[in-house]
Structure 1
Amino acid sequence: MGILRRALDALYLAGGVVAALFTLAILVIIVAQMIARWTGNVFPGATDYAGYCMAAASFFAFAYALNHGAHIRVSLLLNALGRHRVKGELWCFGMGAVISSYFAWYGVRGMFESLKWNDISQGLDKTPIWIPQISMAVGTVLLAIAFWDNLARLIMTGHHGMRSGAIETGTE
């Protein structure tokens, strides 16, 4: 189990690193667009590319953020459950796993449909839309894996894998 745990944690960390790189890419695109305007040039599609990077940064960060307690949670309700908190956690992680799996399925399916139909973005960039959709598909799959991972850990050990001090102590 140690190897699987390290692999999953590395996967979530990789998603966070990729999200950070896409955030830096947004900065680079914005600065390049500013320089292009100052020099009288045009950077066609810069706004579209920045938008794709924003979406990629968001989707890749979901699993990392979940495991670090950065998502909005229902901790007040869970704390009010007292001795039934674990049942509430099971329900929350179960619903999160099912819903994120649904989104992952349709994210991947939508990406392949865009590839199949050769959908092109409507912006100036004329990018095949399946390319930016890769980040949504991969990010939702990572999130679904993280939810199933936390659900399985909660069932087997009685504790989920979220590592936020506020969540662990119940003092959000």
Structure 2
Amino acid sequence: MKTLGRGLRRLLDGLYFAGGLIAAVCLVAILAIIVAQMVTRWTGLTFPGATSYAGYAMAAASFFAFAHALNRGAHIRVSVLLTALGPKRRWLELWCFAIGAALSWFFARYAIKAVYWSWKLKDVSQGQDATPLWIPQLAMAAGTVLLAIAMTDHLVRIVFLGEHGIKADTVDQSQGK
């Protein structure tokens, strides 16, 4: 049973890390698109839809980074309030992760629905690129599902282990020094 738990933990942490890597690749893609846009302006060539592609990459970077950022303690949390609560901190964290998990699964459901309907209706972007919208929306849906998994993971950890497993609280670390 313990081996299963370790395997699941490694799988989930690997998923969150993969989301962070995909987000980093998307940020590099944004840089490449901007550089390509500059080169096309200097040479007189055209790069139709470059702005839209940069926007799609930014959305993908944001959504894929959510779970990784949560795991690393990079999301804004009210650590001062949590620290002041002392032993009652667990109950506030339990409540917050329960609400966060419910909302993220709710959002994930509708993100998946948006992808489905964009695909079914063959909806395309209004820009010069005329990209099928389900393609950039797929990154949003995948990132949202990953965040929902992470929120649920941390909720389950609080319920059964008494701690959420977030690796770094920047405010908490500065208080200890």
Q: Shorter chain as normaliser: what TM range?
A: over 0.9
> Deviation string for 1:44-74 (max 9, x for gaps)?
0000000000000000000000000001112
Distance (whole Å) between structure 2 residues aligned to residue 123 and residue 151 of structure 1: 41
In the alignment of these two chains, the number of paired residues is 172
Structure-2 change in CA distance of 1:168 and 1:75 (3 Å): closer
2:26 aligned with 1:22, yes or no? yes
Structure 2: segments with no counterpart, 5+ residues: none
Contact 2:20 2:65 in 1 (8 A): yes
Q: Is the 8 A contact 1:97 1:144 kept in 2?
A: yes
Q: Which residue number corresponds to residue 150 of structure 1?
A: 154
For residues 126 and 77 of structure 1, the distance between their equivalents in structure 2, rounded to whole angstroms, comes to: 48
Aligned partner of 1:36 in structure 2 is 40
Aligned counterpart in structure 2 of residue 13 of structure 1, from 13, 17, 32: 17
Deviations 1:109-132 (A, max 9, x none): 111011111111001100000000
The answer to whether the 8 Å contact 2:30/2:58 transfers is yes
- Over the matched positions of the two proteins, sequence identity in percent amounts to 58
CA distance in 2, matches of 1:4, 1:165: 24
AA at the equivalent of 1:128: P
Give the TM-score normalised by the residue count of structure 2: 0.93
Structure 1 partner of 2:131: 127
Inter-partner Cα distance in structure 1 for 2:53 and 2:143: 18
Instruction: State the 1:167 CA deviation.
Output: 5.6
- Find the aligned partners of 1:165 and 1:78 in 2 and give their Cα distance: 11
Alpha-carbon distance in structure 1 between the residues aligned to 2:93 and 2:173: 15
- 2:104 is equivalent to residue 117 of structure 1: no
Q: How does 1:1-172 map onto structure 2 within 5 Å?
A: 1-166=5-170, 169=173, 171=175
- Further displaced range: 78-87 or 22-31: 78-87
Counterparts of 1:119 and 1:103, CA distance in 2:
21
TM-score by length of 1: 0.96
Distance 1:165 1:106 in 2: 31
Listed as ranges, the gaps of 5+ residues in structure 1 are none
Q: Is the 8 A contact 1:33 1:43 kept in 2?
A: yes
Are the counterparts in 1 of residues 66 and 147 from structure 2 also a CA contact under 8 Å? yes
For 1:125, give the aligned amino acid: D
Whether the 8 Å CA contact 2:22–2:61 is kept in 1: the answer is: yes
1:79-99 superposed Cα distances (whole Å, 9 cap, x missing partner): 222221000010111111001
Quickly say closer, same or farther: Cα 1:147–1:36, change in 2 above 3 A: same
Q: Does the aligned pair in 2 maintain the 1:104–1:141 contact within 8 Å?
A: yes
